[in-house]
Structure 1
């Protein structure tokens, strides 16, 4: 069921969005050659505890997960692009790292993701991150009252195709509110002008993710991490966005933190 939030409820979601943004900025600054993925997860865990927030991940066990997630952060490296389960791995020079984080503050959830290169970058990795960033921005621009849901999807998909990338439709954006995942599903491609009309109070996570040379994925032996079928690298960008009468409001905006 699609739920619409009142203006007061959207305002009440701001602290969660800001905190998620703060955590991602701290994680990006901490991600360096030699840093272990478990150290990043522990940093996020400490920040959650200090803030009095609640993790959306640690007990998360959807049908596609092998077991409860058990960590508070998704860390996807190189050919991993989504749901990366933190494990004993020290980041290496040139790694492409995606960080996905969601938590609740005062009962309201926010969800966001970034991709960064650790150490010396490859140009193709920077290009992939740039495409995912542009796709996110294009999707957000379409998150306006009177537009339709697939206007967001089409903007994301068009950006991918212009960069020569294909799009996987198995995982995409979603509703956000009292829980991390709700209706509607927001696919990363679609035909503009279709889907329900966007109304004030709809809060969604918009999250384009792309792989360099495929749209096929498989689940790692850990039961969670999603990897490219051909070993190519992936990038993932995400913001929680509220649709308001004044335009899209990016609740997880990192402005002033970077």
Structure 2
């Protein structure tokens, strides 16, 4: 059942979202050749603890880290590692913040130094695809309108949309109904109503959309070895339009 949040609950989720946004703002300053994703993961865990928050995904179904860190052809759920990032890499840092029992979820892809023109295109189009989806997150639309906007935009630029990993409702639990695919026909799926809170988190590949999960049971990679990127916001459906709870621009 889809849980409709009160205005007070959305305010609490927004507070978690703004703390998460601050994490990404600080991570953006750290990203450079030579830093490791283990360094970033430890910084996030310490920062959240200092602000009275919890990294919600640590321990979730046995996941051992505060963040997911996916490099180059890793699509999502990559383990932070003590391996220095190199000039030309791209890396996605994904995290879920629990502040006083309410959650926010956001992933962001970063360029490490100077990257190739193809990698830059991937980052740019994935970022824009996220906001094309958010534009459709209005009362009276359906989940499929978000999905369709993302897929058509991505494919019009020659990129593919990952299928198995999708957005979701969120609140006091990390994963709630409804599911939010990033592909499919418009005017399908649940009706968007005021008070719903969802994640929109397209993962786009430079090559084919097919992915595989590594032996660790978590890390997903592109089958063809192509680069993958992801941008994600937690979004509340309001009478005044979509409210981005993890907005980094405020």
Normalised by the size of structure 1, how large is the TM-score? 0.95
CA distance in 1, matches of 2:143, 2:37: 35
CA distance in 1, matches of 2:24, 2:166: 20
1:205 shift after superposition: 0.4
Query: Match for 1:251 among 234, 245, 248?
Result: 245
Q: Secondary structure at the match of 2:48?
A: helix
Q: Secondary structure at the match of 2:141?
A: coil
**Contact 2:213–2:219, Cα closer than 8 Å, also in 1:** yes
CA distance in 1, matches of 2:37, 2:215: 17
Equivalent pairs, count: 250
**Contact 2:162–2:202, Cα closer than 8 Å, also in 1:** no
| Aligned twin of 1:212 | 206
1:48 equivalent in alignment to 2:42:
no
1:153 equivalent in alignment to 2:138:
no
CA distance in 2, matches of 1:2, 1:167: 25
Q: Deviations over 1:151-187 (max 9, x none)?
A: 0110111111111122222111100100111111100
CA distance in 2, matches of 1:149, 1:221: 33
| Aligned twin of 2:7 | 7
Q: Deviations over 1:171-222 (max 9, x none)?
A: 1110010011111110011111111211000000000111111111111232
Q: Deviations over 1:46-70 (max 9, x none)?
A: 1111011011111111xxxxxx111
| Aligned twin of 1:35 | 35
| Aligned twin of 1:172 | 166
Query: Match for 1:181 among 166, 175, 178?
Result: 175
Greater shift after overlay, 187-196 or 137-146? 187-196
Q: Secondary structure at the match of 1:46?
A: helix
CA distance in 2, matches of 1:75, 1:28: 14
Q: Any unmatched runs of 5+ in structure 1? A: 62-67
1:119 shift after superposition: 0.8
CA distance in 2, matches of 1:169, 1:91: 27
| Aligned twin of 1:97 | 91
Q: Secondary structure at the match of 1:57?
A: coil
Alignment of 1:129-144 (within 5 A): 129-144=123-138
1:229 shift after superposition: 0.4
**Contact 1:84–1:226, Cα closer than 8 Å, also in 2:** yes
**Contact 2:127–2:231, Cα closer than 8 Å, also in 1:** yes
CA distance in 2, matches of 1:22, 1:247: 23
Normalised by the size of structure 2, how large is the TM-score? 0.98
1:126 equivalent in alignment to 2:120:
yes
| Aligned twin of 2:21 | 21
CA distance in 2, matches of 1:55, 1:43: 12
